[in-house]
Amino acid sequence: MRPSQPALIKWLTPGLGIKRWLVLLMLGITVLALGFAQAIVALYPGSDDLPLSLYILTLRFVPPWARIGVSVLGGLAVIVLSLYQLNRSILAPFDAHNQESLIDRVYAHSRRQRGIKLVAIGGGSGLPGVLRGMKRYTNQITAIVTMADDGGSSGRLRRELGVLPPGDLRSNIAALANDEALMTQLFQYRFAQGGLEGHSFGNLFLTALADITGSMDRAVAETGRVLATQGRVLPSTLQDDVTLMAEVRMPGETRLRRVTGESQIPESGGKIERVFLHPDQVRAYPEAVRAILNASFVVIGPGSLYTSILPSLLVTGIIEALRASRAYKVYVCNVATQAGETDGYSVADHVLALEAHIGRGVFDAVLANNSYPSKNAGEHTHYVIPAPETHTIFQRYHVHQADLTNEDQPWRHDANKLAQALLTLYQNATQAGPSAQPETLAAG
């Protein structure tokens, strides 16, 4: 194998479009320096008995104000042009698929770097909506997702290879990445036939990378770098033997029936009374706890109440961190009920179910939808109805309502509407303080 060329020789390779602008930059600096020299000569005049060549070079035949202005402005113009073209040449290899101008990207990056320290907790299809909406406003996003998934591709990989379920990790990594990028589309690709039928490429990628790096958390971190995510995704725990279990009341039965497995709970056909994790003490991933303690804003949900949100909250250390955190904490209620889990639930029923499992006072506010469109809804969409204004949850939480529905899929949250409502909530809370009263919001 031939040794690589020294870096200096590579920079001098013809055709890079760099040397010409470096030469122009030096010329601009020289002209600018000449302008300053002219100013010094004008302030401290010396002898005018100059050789003809110097007389012409220093433009002594031109009025002093004109030669100083031409030199300074001309030098600055040449420097600006050369720096602009030099940056374009250097950044061109990294800019092939980005249509935004350089200044727009620098401005947006700077704005996101100064954004809210956000932690979003949950899983399933609800949490990615929060991430898609909020990544426009901040880079400081941490998603903490459940590790109790045992269905579909994740369940098969978990049973066959003994890895942490990668599905929720993959979905939220993709949500934080550039949705237009080909790599992100590839990461979400699901095989439709053959031995890999039902598996997504991202799940297989994460599983392979976990084997290479030695752990799923390192695999997730490396994947985030590959996809240039606007934030990070963390597992709620690194224990690979976590099982979600439920006590379900079946119609006509007095005794509770125990159901094992996240994917089996919605299929049980009964009313869920309680969910819990096995083993009893599932330890939280320390980095997830640290993120909650350092956050300024925590969003819980949206997502499947019993199979996505509670499995993350029930991990030992998560609730303790939420109670200790000084962040403003909001629970986002689902737009529609979920068959097999929350049939007939109101906003109040969702909150009471959370309180029954994690206690009161874990979050400060509840964000709920107040728009119920019929267009595109279909016959199977049943919206979560609002809580009566006399309900006791209004005494414990700030209950905020806004139009959060997606126009094409009204049973889901619209990412932009949700982000606007969350930002309004946070800004109102930080400006008004803890004494702020409940109000109804119109999402911008």
Q: Which residues have CB under 8 Å from 151's CB, separation 6+?
A: 261, 262, 263
| 313 in any annotated domain | no
The pLDDT score that the predictor gives to residue 107 is 52
Using alpha carbons only, give the angle 230, 211, 174 rounded to the nearest 5 degrees.
Answer: 25
Whether residue 350 lies inside any domain: the answer is no
Its domain, for residue 80, covers 7-96
DSSP secondary structure letters along 352-401: HHHHHHH-SSS-SEEEEE-----TTT-TT--BPBPPPTTSTHHHHSEEEE
- Domain membership flag for residue 131: no
Residue 267 lies in a domain: yes
Which residue, 180, 113, 174, 109, is CA-closest to 143?
174
How far apart CA 272 and CA 285 sit, in angstroms, is 27
- Identify the DSSP state of 345: -
Helices then strands, counting H and E runs in the chain, come out as 17, 10
Q: Which pLDDT score, from 0 to 100, does residue 49 have?
A: 60
DSSP state of 17: S
Q: Could you tell me if 189 and 198 are in contact, meaning their C-beta atoms sit under 8 angstroms apart?
A: no
Residue 249 host element (H or E): strand 243-249
Of the candidates 166, 53, 171, the one whose C-alpha atom is nearest the C-alpha of residue 120 is 171
The answer to whether residue 47 sits within a structural domain is: yes
Q: End of a domain among 63, 96, 129?
A: 96
Which of 39, 72, 96 marks a domain boundary? 96
Number of domains observed in the structure of the chain? 2
The rounded average pLDDT for each run of 10 residues, N- to C-terminus, in the chain (444 residues) is 56 68 79 71 57 62 69 79 75 55 54 78 90 92 94 87 90 83 81 88 93 92 87 93 94 91 92 95 95 97 95 96 97 96 96 97 96 91 93 94 95 96 94 52 39
Q: Which residue has the tokens 């906003």?
A: 347
pLDDT value of residue 42 = 65
Q: Flag whether 184 is in a domain.
A: no
Evaluate whether residue 67 is within a structural domain: yes
Domain boundary among 229, 262, 278: 278
Sign of the CA dihedral with 131 first, then 133, 139, and 140 last: negative
Q: Return all residues near 280 (Cβ < 8 A) that are at least 6 apart.
A: none
